């Protein structure tokens, strides 16, 4: 008999790569070493590339990354997608702009460093401009191919593995969530009345999706705070489907409010910071605190189960 384990732990230096490959027709192929799991990486990466290159997002074809074409850039974990992938996209786009500016600078009669990229065109200092498409055509003519691989390496941190001291990561996120709830005296059932979250996201690349991550994270947190539980019997898991493993339904959740705090991080090329986990982590403690305020009971195990409810409840429904 052998024991086997796999883990992802004490980190090395984080990095991510992105490839931008502009085609002769001016369409932009983008590949990033961050996998899309539905969290909106595709749209965030495309928006960042479009913004940096001053082009319309319609030009961009986001290609599902493969390690055969873009360096393996690690996993979609640790809320690193937008900060690391977005960093790589921004670095790649800046490198591409340098190459394009070199080719365009003669036509624009200005130094390459002064070329501005906006409205699908390149602008010189005196109002001269050349379209993005025309610049790409000139590049192919000159056999200077508009293909770049940008790499963002996370800045070094002061973390010391042996002493366990120092900064473990190069940027930090800040957030706060609040919840209002009632506890039914007879059943112990917790009903959420409202929840509000404020998070420092660095830069909200795609604000609707940022809001979506707030709400999704809070919903998942409400689920594991109040109902979600993997149960087992005789060593076998019994909660095998969605009828027994109860994730929140729409009527389990309250109206939620998202407050986006923008505070671009200078260490992150795109200014964006992490969001996935922060939104998921702090509603459960808020719910536990609200339950304490309502009932005086300090619940330390999730999911919170308040049955049987103690007699000392003063009212039929205790409201925070």
Pairing of strands 175-184, 190-202: antiparallel
Stretch of 19-27, 148-156, 240-248, 292-300 lying at the interface with another protein (CB under 8 A): 240-248
- Provide, rounded to whole angstroms, the least separation between the CB of residue 38 and another protein: 3
Residue (220 or 288) nearer to another protein, CB: 220
Question: Of residues 12, 38, 127, 314, which one binds another protein by CB under 8 A?
Answer: 38
Whether residue 303 has a cis bond before it, omega within 30° of 0 = yes
> Between residues 136 and 274, which has the closer beta carbon with respect to another protein?
274
In angstroms, what is the minimal distance from the CB of 302 to another protein?
18
Structure tokens at 107: 């036509």
Tokens of 132: 């993005």
Q: Cβ 206 to another protein, closest distance in Å?
A: 8
Q: Residue 252, SS3?
A: helix
Contact letters (x/-) for another protein, 49-88, by CB under 8 A?
Answer: ----------------------------------------
Closer to another protein at the Cβ: 155 or 216? 216
The token pair at 183 is 């506890």
253 counts as binding another protein under rule CB under 8 A = yes
Given the structure tokens 């004490």, which residue do they identify? Answer: 10
DSSP label of 137: H
Q: Is 256 one of the binding residues for another protein (CB under 8 A)? A: yes
- Determine, following the binding rule CB under 8 A, whether residue 44 of this chain makes contact with another protein: no
Using the minimum distance from each CB to another protein, give the nearer residue, 114 or 193.
193
Closest by alpha carbon to 202, among 216, 188, 189, 213?
213
Q: How many residues bind another protein (CB under 8 A)?
A: 26
Strand pairing report for 236-237 and 232-233? antiparallel
Angstrom distance (rounded) from CA 69 to CA 147 = 12
Could you tell me where the DSSP H helices lie in the chain?
41-53, 86-108, 132-141, 207-226, 276-281, 283-295
Residue from 243, 308, 312, 314 that binds another protein (CB under 8 A)?
243
Tallying the residues shown for the chain, one arrives at 320
Tell me the backbone φ, ψ of residue 187, rounded to 5 degrees. Answer: -100, -20
Q: Which is nearer to another protein, 40 or 85 (CB)?
A: 40
Q: How far is the CB of 305 from another protein (least distance, A)?
A: 22
In the region spanning residues 171 to 210, those forming contacts with another protein, defined by CB under 8 A, are 208-209
Relative to beta strand 60-62, strand 28-32 is parallel
- Of 250, 298, 301, 312, the residue at the interface with another protein (CB under 8 A) is 250
CA proximity to 97, closest of 150, 31, 152, 33: 150
Q: Cβ closer to another protein: 248 or 278?
A: 248
- The window from 2-10, 116-124, 235-243, 301-309 that contacts another protein (CB under 8 A) reads 235-243
Give the footprint of another protein on this chain (CB under 8 A): 37-40, 208-209, 211-212, 214-220, 241-243, 247-251, 253, 255-256
């Amino acid at each position: 008999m052998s024991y086997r384990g796999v883990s992802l732990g004490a980190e090395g230096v984080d990095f991510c790569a992105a490839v931008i490959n502009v085609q002769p027709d001016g369409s932009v192929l983008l590949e990033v070493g961050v996998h899309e799991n539905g969290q909106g990486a595709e749209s965030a990466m495309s928006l960042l590339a479009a913004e940096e290159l001053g082009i319309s997002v319609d030009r961009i074809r986001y290609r599902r990354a493969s390690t055969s074409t873009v360096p393996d850039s690690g996993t979609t974990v640790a809320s690193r997608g937008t900060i690391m992938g977005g960093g790589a996209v921004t670095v790649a786009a800046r490198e591409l702009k340098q190459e394009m500016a070199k080719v365009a600078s003669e036509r624009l009669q200005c130094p390459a460093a002064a070329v501005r990229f906006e409205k699908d065109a390149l602008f010189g200092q005196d109002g001269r401009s050349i379209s993005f498409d025309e610049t790409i055509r000139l590049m192919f003519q000159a056999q200077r191919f508009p293909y770049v691989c940008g790499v963002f390496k996370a800045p070094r941190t002061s973390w010391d593995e042996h002493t366990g001291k120092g900064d473990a990561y190069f940027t930090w996120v800040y957030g706060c969530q609040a919840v209002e709830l009632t506890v039914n005296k007879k059943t112990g059932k917790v009903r959420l009345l409202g929840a509000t979250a404020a998070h420092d996201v660095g830069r909200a690349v795609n604000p609707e999706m940022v809001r979506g991550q707030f709400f999704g994270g809070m919903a998942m947190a409400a689920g594991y705070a109040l109902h979600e539980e993997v149960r087992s019997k005789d060593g076998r898991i019994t909660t095998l489907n969605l009828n027994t493993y109860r994730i929140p339904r729409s009527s389990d959740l309250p109206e939620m409010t998202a407050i986006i705090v923008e505070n671009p991080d200078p260490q992150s090329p795109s200014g964006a910071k992490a969001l996935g986990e922060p939104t998921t982590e702090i509603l459960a403690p808020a719910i536990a605190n609200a339950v304490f305020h309502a009932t005086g009971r300090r619940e330390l195990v999730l999911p919170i189960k308040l049955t049987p409810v103690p007699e000392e409840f003063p009212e039929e429904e205790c409201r925070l």
